[in-house]
Amino acid sequence: MPLVRPFAGLRPVAGRAADVCAPPYDVLNSAEARERAAGKPWSFLHISKPEIDLPEGTDPYDPAVYAKAAENLARMREEGILVQDETPHYYVYQLQMGDHVQTGLVAAASVKDYDSNRIRKHEFTRPDKEDDRVRQIDALDAQTGPVLLAYRADPELDALLASVTEAPPEVDIEADDGIRHRLWVVSDPALIDDITRRFDAMPALYIADGHHRSASASRVAKARAAANPQHTGEEPYNYFLSVIFPHEQMKILDYNRVVTDLNGLSPEAFLARVSEAFRVTPSEAPVRPEHPGQFGMYLGGQWYRLDIDPTRIPADDPVKRLDVSLLADNLLEPVLGISDPRRDKRIDFVGGIRGLGELEKRVDSCEMAVAFSLFPTPMDALMAVADAGEVMPPKSTWFEPKLADGLVSHLLK
């Protein structure tokens, strides 16, 4: 079984991609999805967030929701909006956000290699979220939300994928958020074989985003294999929908923190405690950290630059040396008393796409007492954690631009 293989994708018919393309299911809540899909009968949100077609207040985990997703998918196929390719292909997918461009491959990735950790993880998953995706896949008989993967950049492979983009794309659309999505279909058998061989020579792929989608695909594969007396390992359920980019092209934004209170400390006492582990420098401008080990802090209408004492950075621990860990271990826990950021209601997380102004807004409104800006986690650091078999702290990475749902889906039969 190869690490990745081509597949016969389910795609919008020519001219309909803009009508179908939708944000990932997990970046919108039900109310936002309902508003975004209003007046758009072919939006993929009717499949990925099907509760929007049921009475308001419907539990998104109700069995009726998954049944509605299947009904909506069937309707879009019957109406000729979504059509399956007749033969297996790879698809080259290019994302553009402003001046940033990244070019990767849409492929079916091996569940077996996920299970053996050749496709490497860096996050824990939650059983309830896995259960949701399992029910969605089983109801649709399809994987519709791609897993975002990375490979260590390979100049020859990168150039090969880029060469595909010299032809006119089959899809070229700009989504509501200004992100441009382009898609090329790879049909040449020799090129398909070459791509498969190049990926199969890789020691590992890395999950960037989509841990619950990949974990649920693994569960579905195990269940279907157990129920299939004729199981061969070649069935579509043995693979999961993925988009794979070279790591050097991927863009990780800062994932910042805001905290509701100073843990009983006055601002002066708080600053004194922070100074035990960081060099604290007032700043007249908002602080966007320039390198790892540097942080911004917004407190009482004032920005500060925090530079951690270098002796507090572990040399040989890929998790503990992450900026999210340095902040947690040297400030959030010992000073603010936040020992479990997954569950502590006093802390919230703000994706860097919202900008530093969002941090000021949350503090100036008195909703929060203090905010911290972080340097984005480098891809090399993520891969080092995954290679070590370790897990990153929660909310360590914020990838932009986001993949679209609906441009290519992977059918399981």
User: What tens digit of pLDDT does each residue of 76-100 get?
Assistant: 999 999 999 999 999 999 999 999 9
Domains and CATH numbers, the chain: 4-251+400-411 (no CATH), 255-375 (3.30.1760)
Residue 343: the pLDDT is: 87
Q: How far apart are CA 294 and CA 254, in angstroms?
A: 12
Q: How far apart are CA 134 and CA 38, in angstroms?
A: 27
**Closest of 253, 221, 179, 152 to residue 407, by C-alpha:** 179
The pTM for the full model equals 0.93
Contact between 386 and 206 under an 8 Å Cβ cutoff? The reply is yes
Q: How far apart are CA 398 and CA 377, in angstroms?
A: 9
Site of tokens 């794309």: 169
Q: Are strands 10-12 and 82-84 parallel, antiparallel or unpaired?
A: antiparallel
Residue 176: the pLDDT is: 87
Residue 342: the pLDDT is: 84
State residue 288 phi and psi, 5-degree precision. -105, 110
User: What tens digit of pLDDT does each residue of 372-383 get?
Assistant: 999 999 999 999
Residue 123: the pLDDT is: 92
151 three-state secondary structure: strand
User: What tens digit of pLDDT does each residue of 162-212 get?
Assistant: 999 999 999 999 998 899 999 999 999 999 999 999 999 999 999 999 999
Residue 203: the pLDDT is: 97
Site of tokens 């998918």: 73
Q: Are strands 147-151 and 239-246 parallel, antiparallel or unpaired?
A: parallel
Encoded amino acid at 386, one letter: A
CA angle in degrees (0–180, nearest 5) for 176-179-183: 110
User: What tens digit of pLDDT does each residue of 16-33 get?
Assistant: 999 999 999 988 899 999
User: Band of the pLDDT at 335, cuts 50, 70, 90?
Assistant: very high
